[in-house]
């Protein structure tokens, strides 16, 4: 491939990657519209095409736009004003999409928090929601009915003190007819088996009974979204037109200095820019294509992909209860043309019996983000796709929540194994020294440069929200950049390669971002712990990364004392700790006599913790990831060396 001459040596000035984009692509300008206006105008010629597939039932774009307006009326009826922030505790169901655009239509801000309880103690999860309500100046709440029980009911009095008097409840069954209900049960049965289905139906019955009792004793006015839809036909809404840099949504990511979810404020321009750049990044996009919508709205990546799909008139196949092990079954059943996910989700496909001999030629785009994938796994998935008659290779990119999702993309000539592609068409990457933050440049005959990536894009979020830090900005040559914290290399064509996170962050199998230093600091605060080092390990059951805590103790202890220490550690550091998440609980704890060292006598952080030695004491921590509670946590010391090799 022809290599463009580097004029100054600084990639953010020379932009060698622009040779991959046609002059027509570069000339296109993003429309000045709100999210709603852009989506509405883009689907104007596709009104009879499906917008949503949910439990086998479809909603066309003409109906979709009507439901969006109805959502705006519901919100108006509870006195949502332009600029008001609405806390949404929602999964991928049709009402989540309706209310996103309905909120935007009347100028509100959709604030998405993870609807899954974040602690084994629901009261702690509820307190985190209360803190979000206070910190982010929430004025209204819309929640799934099950989320109400776990995350709203315990803090109703405090919510009322914040000036919020009602909560709108949405059920995952609101958009389901009898046929849809049958389809749901049938799919659950085929995917999970008879025993799990019976257990699920009993669980839903118990939840319904508890919900009914909780609503009757509520100090708040609990409003049914489904009931309101029937009674708002005469409500007049006040559409809000485009205003530059108006906030449209807030999503959340793990904090940089604590475990409390960090708010990510997104503007209309930011969310739209992600979709607009993807459309001009040599991607395959075609109206009427179906997209498997498994990424959640509370993730900036998920929100960005969701808006990308709707603004391109895709048929969005909404999956509210996604389990990675069912990825292959979902693909076989729904035959999606486009799939976006995380690396761990795709690793399950190559050994998935449900995809044996399945023709995958219907897949036009299959991509991942949120974490990196090693070249060997990438090649393995590409071979798998090719053997199943799919002409596409897996695509990928580099992104951050603070960039409204993504900033680079790999496809075609620049979809190189192990790479993250090139900067998206309106995005600029630079490279700086991680310590000094001074710019790094290409020297003569230098093929690659290494350092921390800095990024400039129309999708960049502000440095603060309500005075609270979001992400650090820096200015170079008059251009506003953010510091990504990602260390990598760039070649002379502008192709990017990821090396590591400066904070050693990694992603669990379910997409949760693990910040090792947060867990390490909490564990090292215990008086018995000399040192702690957190690493990922591949868990066969979940087909992805889980958390391993490698511990050094301060003094010799008998086994009984160590057993108690491990139990106390899980209890004190995670279960009772308001600032901890249940998704941070290490599922493997390895107590070592000494840390592994390199030939130079330094701790071998790179690969020294990959294996378990005969001298190591290992504990396995298990709990039901779907219904986390204090009662279902099990801590067991593993003595069988054969089992140790497996885990």
Mean pLDDT computed over 587-615: 76
Q: Count CB neighbours of 542 within 10 A.
A: 18
C-alpha neighbours within 13 Å on the C-beta side of residue 469: 9
Structure tokens given for 81: 């004003």
pLDDT for position 342: 83
pLDDT tens readout for residues 170-202: 999 999 999 999 999 999 999 999 999 999 999
If one compares 437 and 609, the residue with the highest pLDDT of the two is 437
Q: What is the dihedral of CA 290, 305, 38, 414, to 10 degrees?
A: -90
Q: Which helix (H) or strand (E) holds 133?
A: helix 122-135
| pLDDT for 64 beyond 70 | yes
Q: Reduced to 3 states, what is the DSSP secondary structure of residue 496? A: strand
- Angle, helix 178-192 to helix 194-216, in steps of 10 degrees: 130
Q: Which residues pair with 471 in a beta bridge?
A: none
pLDDT for position 505: 79
Is the CB of residue 383 less than 8 Å from the CB of residue 255? no
* pLDDT classification of 254: cutoffs 50, 70, 90: low
User: What percent of the chain is predicted at pLDDT more than 90?
Assistant: 66
Q: Is the pTM of this model over 0.75?
A: yes
| pLDDT for 644 beyond 70 | no
pLDDT tens readout for residues 411-424: 988 999 989 999 99
Q: Which domains does the chain have, with CATH numbers?
A: 11-21+422-501 (2.30.38.10), 35-322 (3.40.50.12780), 506-646 (3.30.300.30)
Is the CB of residue 39 less than 8 Å from the CB of residue 45? no
């Amino acid at each position: 491939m022809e290599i463009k001459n580097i004029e100054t040596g600084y990639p953010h000035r020379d932009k060698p990657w622009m040779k991959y984009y046609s002059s027509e692509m570069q000339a296109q300008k993003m429309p000045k519209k709100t999210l709603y206006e852009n989506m509405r105008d883009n689907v104007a010629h596709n009104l009879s095409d499906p917008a949503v597939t949910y439990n086998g039932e479809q909603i066309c774009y003409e109906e979709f736009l009507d439901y969006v307006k109805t959502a705006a009326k519901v919100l108006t009826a509870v006195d949502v004003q332009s600029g008001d922030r609405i806390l949404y505790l929602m999964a991928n169901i049709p009402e989540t999409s309706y209310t996103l655009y309905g909120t935007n239509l009347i100028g509100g801000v959709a604030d998405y928090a993870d609807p899954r309880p974040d602690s084994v103690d629901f009261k702690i999860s509820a307190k985190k929601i209360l803190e979000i309500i206070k910190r982010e100046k929430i004025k209204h709440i819309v929640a799934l009915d099950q989320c109400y029980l776990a995350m709203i009911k315990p803090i109703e009095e405090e919510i009322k003190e914040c000036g919020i008097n009602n909560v709108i409840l949405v059920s995952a069954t609101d958009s389901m007819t009898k046929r849809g209900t049958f389809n749901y049960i049938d799919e659950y049965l085929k995917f999970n088996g008879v025993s799990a289905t019976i257990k699920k139906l009993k669980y839903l019955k118990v939840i319904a009974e508890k919900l009914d009792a909780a609503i009757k004793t509520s100090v708040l006015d609990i409003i049914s979204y489904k009931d309101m839809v029937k009674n708002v036909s005469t409500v007049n809404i006040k559409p809000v037109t485009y205003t530059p840099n108006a906030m449209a949504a807030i999503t959340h990511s793990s904090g940089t200095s604590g475990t409390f979810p960090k708010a990510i404020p997104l503007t209309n321009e930011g969310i739209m820019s992600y979709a607009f750049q993807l459309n001009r990044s040599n991607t395959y996009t075609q109206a009427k294509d179906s997209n498997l919508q498994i990424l959640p709205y509370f993730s900036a990546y998920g929100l960005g992909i969701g808006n990308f799909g709707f603004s391109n008139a895709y048929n969005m196949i909404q999956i509210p209860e996604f389990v990675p092990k069912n990825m292959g079954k979902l693909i076989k059943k729904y035959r999606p043309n486009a799939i976006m996910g995380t690396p761990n989700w795709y690793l399950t496909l190559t050994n998935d019996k449900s995809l044996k001999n399945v023709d995958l030629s219907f897949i036009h785009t299959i991509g991942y983000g949120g974490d990196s994938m090693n070249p060997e796994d990438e090649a393995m998935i590409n071979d798998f796709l090719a053997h199943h008659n799919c002409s596409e290779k897996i695509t990928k990119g580099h992104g951050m929540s603070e960039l409204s999702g993504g900033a680079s993309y790999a496809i075609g000539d620049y979809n190189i194994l192990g790479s993250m592609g090139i900067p998206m068409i309106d995005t600029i990457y630079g490279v700086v020294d991680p310590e000094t933050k001074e710019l790094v440049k290409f020297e003569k005959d230098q093929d690659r440069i290494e350092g921390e990536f800095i990024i400039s894009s129309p999708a960049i979020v502000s440095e603060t929200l309500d005075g609270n830090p979001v992400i650090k900005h820096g200015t170079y040559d008059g251009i506003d950049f953010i510091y990504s914290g990602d260390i990598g290399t760039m070649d002379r064509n502008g192709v990017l390669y990821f090396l590591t996170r400066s904070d050693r962050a990694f992603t669990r199998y379910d997409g949760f971002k693990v910040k090792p230093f947060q867990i390490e600091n909490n564990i090292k605060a215990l008086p018995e712990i000399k040192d702690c080092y957190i690493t990922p390990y591949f868990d066969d059951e979940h087909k992805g990364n889980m958390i391993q805590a490698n511990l050094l103790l301060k003094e010799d202890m008998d086994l009984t004392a160590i057993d108690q220490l491990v139990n106390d550690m899980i209890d004190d550091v995670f279960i009772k700790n308001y600032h901890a998440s249940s998704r941070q609980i290490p599922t493997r704890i390895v107590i070592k006599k000494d840390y592994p060292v390199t030939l130079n006598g330094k701790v071998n952080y790179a690969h020294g913790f990959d294996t378990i030695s005969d001298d190591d004491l290992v504990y396995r921590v298990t709990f039901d990831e779907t219904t986390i509670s204090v009662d279902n946590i099990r801590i067991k010391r593993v003595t069988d060396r054969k089992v140790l090799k497996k885990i």
